[in-house]
């Protein structure tokens, strides 16, 4: 195989005075070279496409298999194992409403705390802020059970006992679920919101200030609206984390039916008492609620953006 | 009116020290300097976006040194316009008035402003700024800044990303509005051509200090120092010497009497005021102070033709060829021997300016 240079040198030697032959010779070799080069490029593109599609295919397959596994085991229309049958039971209805209520309240409380925290983290250039940033990530990597134990010990300490006796009872009560889920959702929401605030150019806030906005006004009129997609994403992820929590909730609030039993706890307790059908119906219901909420939020966000 | 008195601004290790600046009411001031010389620091201090370490700042006769940006009665237009992407075009323009709670007069003021800035009704009606071109964005940002009727309008390299035609068009429109409204304006840039189109006066910032303030038309004629002349890329900087003050300064066969007692000076020679002459033209036009030179290249700048010539002592000059073209078609050939005429009024002493130099005005 000859390269560009080989072809050129050969043609100069042979063609001596024939510019036409020279041109012809000089273009034959590069054409082969170009074809090979294009072949390599196409192969590279195909490889990259395969890499992307394989990854995505595996991710989608995992989720679909989870659903199919349940659907094939349980007849969705069955009175024993279907999600609609699960809705007919009082303790299940209680678990559903408790889960939806606590996940919504705790993700909203977490959002109110996460907004200023994430904004400070996104804007501050101080070195020690990196330590705080890492500290706030701790709940993300800890097991929810460990967080539940920490909360349990906190409310068993002297200040915790005072809090419980004078303000709100937390341990083995619904506020305990909200506290645990808020802690879990908070770390998630801070992470998402920090990225959203970092995407808002500080010069836009400065421009708003020079046009008459106070710092609060610039935040309210410019920063928050521009971070809206991030706000929605943070709320959805925080809500999902809260809705699906098992470890922290069961540790601090127990799993008392009709009192502190959320949906994940209800599923587990049905499995534990070998009520497979009820557990399946409930888990399918949990899946449908979560999926419906995620879709609804995305559609609402896109409609608003349009 | 803006008055900056002995202001020092610190940013990390870099400082702008003891700066004094006075921008009279209703005038347009260009703050000109290369990147990294501190002109943006000065701007941020005037805007209230950066605290000053020392000194005082007055805007509209009121001290604003410790006031936040929103209390200074100003407007600011950054480099890319910084439009708010979550708002429509109309909402962007009315943003400042809405914040101030003075939307009442907008219905009559907005059409006038849009007409002056060539913002069409269709553009104004757009729900998103994302579809606007670069020039349209700058018009909208300018309208937003002007609609709040600021005491001072600050612009930071606001048109530098636009192509030359659009930039020139916008600068001329802004100049027209500034003069019609007698709007005090401060425009920070590194581009001297922007300065010529928009400014009344220019303040040159070099090396963390104000190097010179002068009317725009005089800056290139009387640069305050060799550093300023170099920054302005003035052609024909020539070092001259003489043995005694009674002699004129000489450069090859050229000689000039200059208003200085110094024995060694550096001058700039305006290239549009010195001329390449064809054979016999000097006698025909009665021109003296000429010298023989060799043409080393010809070029066009700002729609005028020039020749770069070398004198026998090695001095290189850029000269206008308009007179030569009266005698012959086209341009002088490279390598041709020509005569060059450099009158005294083409020669300016660097540093011999009546305008401000150094940190104080």
**Do residues B208 and B234 share a domain?**
no
**Do residues B163 and B235 share a domain?**
no
* Spatial distance between the Cα atoms of B31 and B326, rounded to a whole number of angstroms: 40
Domain boundary among B175, B195, B224: B224
Does residue A24 surpass a pLDDT of 60? no
Chunked into runs of 10 residues, chain B (361 residues) has average pLDDT values of 91 86 93 87 92 92 91 89 91 92 87 88 86 88 91 88 83 90 92 87 88 84 82 86 88 87 88 88 87 93 89 92 85 90 87 47 46
**Do residues B15 and B132 share a domain?**
yes
Domain boundary among B224, B259, B274: B224
Whether the complex's predicted ipTM is more than 0.85 is answered with no
Assigned token pair, A29:
């070799």
What is the pTM for the complete model shown? 0.75
DSSP 8-state code for residue B235: S
Specify the pLDDT at position A86: 62
End-to-end C-alpha distance for chain B, whole angstroms: 15
**Do residues B213 and B67 share a domain?**
yes
DSSP 8-state code for residue A220: I
**∠ Cα B356 B360 B361 (to 5°):** 50
Assess A206–B contact: CB distance below 8 Å, yes or no.
Answer: yes
| B357 is a domain residue | no
Assigned token pair, B211:
């190097």
* Spatial distance between the Cα atoms of B117 and B131, rounded to a whole number of angstroms: 18
Residue B105: which domain range?
2-224
Residue B66 CB neighbour total at 10 angstroms:
11
Three-state DSSP at A120 gives helix
Instruction: Dump pLDDT digits (tens) for A201-243.
Output: 999 999 999 999 999 999 999 999 999 888 988 998 899 889 8
**Do residues B246 and B277 share a domain?**
yes
End-to-end C-alpha distance for chain A, whole angstroms: 56
How many CA within 13 A on the CB side of residue A247? 13
| B358 is a domain residue | no
Assess A304–B contact: CB distance below 8 Å, yes or no.
Answer: no
**Do residues B9 and B158 share a domain?**
yes
Q: What are the CA-CA distances from residue A246 to residues A137, A243, A256, B325 (Å)?
A: 19, 9, 13, 91
Give the mean pLDDT of A19-29: 46
Q: Return the residue of A nearest to B48 by Cα.
A: A210
Domains in chain A and their CATH numbers?
4-73 (no CATH), 83-305 (1.10.3720.10)
| B360 is a domain residue | no
* Spatial distance between the Cα atoms of B167 and B189, rounded to a whole number of angstroms: 13
| Contact present, B249 and B315 (Cβ < 8 Å) | no
Q: Return the residue of A nearest to B93 by Cα.
A: A211
Domains held by chain B: number: 2
| B87 is a domain residue | yes
Q: Which has the closest alpha carbon to B73: B176, B145, B157, B168?
A: B145
* Spatial distance between the Cα atoms of A287 and B176, rounded to a whole number of angstroms: 65
**Do residues B136 and B70 share a domain?**
yes
Give the mean pLDDT of A163-189: 88
**Do residues B25 and B132 share a domain?**
yes
The CATH number linked to B335 is 2.40.50.140
A147 CA to chain B: closest CA distance, Å?
A: 39
Q: Which residues pair with B32 in a beta bridge?
A: B189, B204
Assigned token pair, B292:
């023989």
Residues A210, B47: C-beta atoms closer than 8 Å: yes
Nearest-CB residue to B86 (from A207, A215, A225):
A225
Q: What are the CA-CA distances from residue B27 to residues A286, B183, B199, B288, B347 (Å)?
A: 69, 7, 8, 42, 29
**A197 or A306, greater pLDDT:** A197
Specify the pLDDT at position B46: 93
**Do residues B45 and B108 share a domain?**
yes
Specify the pLDDT at position A35: 84
B72 CA to chain A: closest CA distance, Å?
A: 8
B181 CA to chain A: closest CA distance, Å?
A: 19
Least confident of A34-43, A119-128, A280-289, B106-115: A280-289
- Per the rule left: phi > 0, alpha: psi between -120 and 50, beta: everything else, A172 is left
**Do residues B110 and B212 share a domain?**
yes
The CATH number linked to B68 is 3.40.50.300
Specify the pLDDT at position A305: 60
**Do residues B163 and B271 share a domain?**
no
**Do residues B190 and B276 share a domain?**
no
Q: Return the residue of B nearest to A208 by Cα.
A: B96
Phi first, then psi, for residue A241 (nearest 5°) are -65, -40
Residues A204, B49: C-beta atoms closer than 8 Å: no
């Amino acid at each position: 195989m000859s390269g560009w240079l080989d072809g050129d040198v050969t043609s100069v030697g042979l063609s001596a005075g024939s510019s036409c032959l020279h041109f012809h010779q000089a273009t034959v070799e590069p054409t082969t070279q170009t074809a090979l080069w294009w072949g390599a490029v196409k192969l590279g593109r195909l490889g990259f496409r395969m890499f992307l599609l394989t990854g995505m295919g595996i991710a989608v397959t995992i989720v679909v298999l989870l659903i199919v596994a349940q659907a094939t085991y349980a007849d969705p229309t069955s009175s024993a194992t279907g999600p609609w049958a699960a809705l007919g039971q009082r303790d299940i209805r209680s678990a559903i409403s408790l889960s939806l209520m606590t996940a919504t309240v705790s993700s909203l409380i977490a959002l109110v705390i996460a907004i200023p925290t994430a904004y400070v983290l996104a804007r501050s250039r101080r070195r020690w802020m990196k330590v705080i940033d890492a500290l706030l990530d701790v709940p993300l990597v800890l097991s929810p059970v460990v967080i539940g134990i920490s909360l349990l010990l906190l409310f068993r300490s002297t200040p915790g006992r005072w809090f419980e006796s004078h303000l709100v009872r937390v341990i083995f009560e619904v506020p305990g679920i909200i506290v645990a889920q808020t802690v879990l959702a908070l770390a998630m929401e801070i992470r998402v919101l920090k990225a959203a605030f970092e995407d808002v150019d500080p010069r836009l806030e400065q421009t708003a200030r020079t046009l008459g906005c106070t710092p609060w006004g610039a935040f309210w009129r410019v920063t928050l609206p521009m971070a809206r997609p991030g706000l929605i994403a943070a709320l959805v992820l925080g809500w999902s984390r809260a809705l699906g929590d098992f470890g922290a909730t069961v540790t601090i609030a127990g799993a008392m039916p009709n009192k502190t039993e959320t949906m994940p706890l209800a599923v587990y307790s049905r499995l534990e008492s070998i009520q497979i059908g009820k557990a399946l119906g409930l888990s399918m219901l949990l899946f449908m609620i979560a999926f419906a909420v995620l879709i609804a939020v995305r559609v609402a966000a896109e409609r608003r953006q349009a | 009116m803006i008055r900056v008195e002995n202001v020092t601004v610190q940013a990390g290790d870099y400082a702008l020290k003891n700066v004094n600046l006075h921008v009279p009411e209703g005038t347009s001031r260009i703050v000109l300097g290369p990147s990294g010389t501190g002109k943006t620091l000065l701007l941020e201090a005037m805007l209230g976006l950066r605290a000053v370490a020392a000194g005082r700042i007055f805007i509209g006769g009121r001290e604003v040194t410790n006031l936040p940006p929103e209390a200074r009665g100003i407007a600011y237009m950054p480099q890319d316009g910084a439009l708010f992407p979550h708002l429509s075009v109309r909402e962007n323009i009315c943003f400042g008035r809405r914040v101030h709670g003075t939307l009442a007069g907008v219905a009559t003021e907005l059409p006038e402003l849009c007409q002056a800035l060539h913002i069409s009704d269709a553009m104004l009606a757009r729900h998103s700024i994302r579809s606007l071109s670069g020039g349209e964005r700058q018009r909208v940002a300018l309208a937003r800044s002007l609609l709040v009727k600021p005491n001072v309008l600050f612009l930071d390299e606001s048109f530098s990303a636009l192509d030359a035609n659009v930039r020139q068009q916008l600068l001329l429109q802004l100049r027209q509005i500034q003069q019609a409204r007698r709007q005090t304006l401060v425009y920070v840039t590194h581009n001297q051509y922007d300065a010529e189109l928009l400014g009344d006066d220019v303040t040159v910032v070099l090396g963390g200090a104000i190097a010179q303030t002068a009317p725009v038309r005089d800056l290139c004629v009387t640069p305050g120092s060799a550093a300023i002349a170099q920054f302005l890329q003035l052609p024909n900087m020539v070092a001259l010497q003489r043995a005694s003050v009674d002699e004129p300064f000489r450069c090859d066969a050229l000689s000039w009497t200059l208003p200085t007692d110094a024995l060694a000076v550096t001058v700039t020679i305006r290239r549009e005021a010195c001329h390449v002459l064809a054979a016999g033209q000097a006698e025909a036009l009665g021109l003296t102070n000429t010298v023989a030179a060799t043409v080393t290249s010809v070029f066009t700048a700002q729609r005028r033709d020039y020749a770069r010539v070398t004198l026998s002592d090695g001095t290189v000059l850029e000269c206008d060829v308009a007179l030569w073209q009266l005698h012959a078609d086209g341009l002088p050939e490279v390598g041709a021997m020509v005569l060059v005429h450099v009158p005294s009024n083409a020669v300016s002493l660097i540093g011999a300016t009546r305008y401000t130099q150094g940190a104080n005005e």
